């Protein structure tokens, strides 16, 4: 019986080389075998994309007793998720709560004096402690529910960043720079 199986295996291997189907080789060899269905299940890993992940901020504070001009940045978020996902969030954070922005003389603006949001009504300071980013220097910029209807989706937002008045910190008018990190997460 082993020699019959060897011959069948050799015939099947040769059939692939010659373009025949395994069923026709087995049928012509006189060997019978029940057909077995094969089910292949593939899981595609979640994919999250952002058009920009680091924003090099350069904020001009002309008068320390007034808020700076608003900086506007377009951000495109896109995702391809599985059905176990319920939310997508865009997070923004600075590396340090005490020095989000720094001028050339070493003066620092803390994260609680930098506000951001995807609309002027939603501009809040970067003071949250989130799963992503630095504690007390983070901010959830949007949180969107995910359902079977939008497991694949995207959105385009205009991120707005502004420095609140800094005269209470006794900081001078200057050009302040820093990096705002953006991360798109799902859960």
The CATH number linked to 147 is: 2.60.40
Q: Is the dihedral of CA 140, 146, 149, 153 positive or negative?
A: positive
- What is the pTM assigned to this prediction? 0.76
Q: 78-103 pLDDT, tens per residue?
A: 999 998 999 999 999 999 999 999 99
Report how many domains make up the chain.
2
Choice between 24 and 42, residue whose per-residue pLDDT is larger: 42
Tell me which residue range forms the domain holding 2. Answer: 1-41
Q: What is the pLDDT of residue 178?
A: 98
Neighbours of 115 (CB within 10 A): 22
Helix, strand, coil % in the chain, rounded to nearest 5: 20, 40, 40
In this structure, the answer to whether residues 13 and 90 fall within a common structural domain is: no
Taking the C-alpha atoms of residue 114 and residue 71, their distance in angstroms, rounded to an integer, is: 11
In this structure, the answer to whether residues 55 and 29 fall within a common structural domain is: no
In this structure, the answer to whether residues 80 and 149 fall within a common structural domain is: yes
* Mean pLDDT, the chain, integer: 87
In this structure, the answer to whether residues 5 and 75 fall within a common structural domain is: no
Q: 51 with 158: CB under 8 angstroms?
A: no
pLDDT at residue 53 greater than cutoff 90:
yes
In this structure, the answer to whether residues 176 and 86 fall within a common structural domain is: yes
């Amino acid at each position: 019986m082993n020699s019959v199986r060897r011959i069948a295996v050799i015939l099947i291997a040769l059939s692939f080389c010659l373009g025949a189907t395994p069923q026709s080789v087995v049928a012509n060899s006189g060997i019978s075998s029940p057909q077995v269905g094969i089910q292949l299940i593939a899981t595609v890993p979640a994919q999250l994309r952002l058009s920009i992940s680091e924003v090099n901020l350069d904020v001009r504070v002309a008068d320390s007793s007034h808020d700076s001009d608003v900086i506007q940045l377009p951000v495109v978020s896109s995702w391809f998720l599985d059905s176990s996902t319920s939310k997508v969030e865009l997070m923004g954070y600075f590396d340090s709560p005490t020095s989000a922005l720094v001028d050339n003389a070493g003066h620092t603006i803390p994260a609680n004096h930098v506000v951001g949001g995807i609309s002027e009504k939603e501009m809040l300071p970067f003071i949250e402690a989130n799963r992503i980013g630095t504690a007390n220097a983070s901010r959830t910029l949007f949180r969107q529910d995910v359902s079977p209807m939008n497991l694949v989706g995207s959105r385009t937002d205009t991120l707005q960043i502004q420095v609140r008045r800094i005269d209470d910190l006794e900081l001078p008018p200057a050009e302040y720079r820093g990096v705002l990190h953006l991360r798109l997460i799902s859960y």
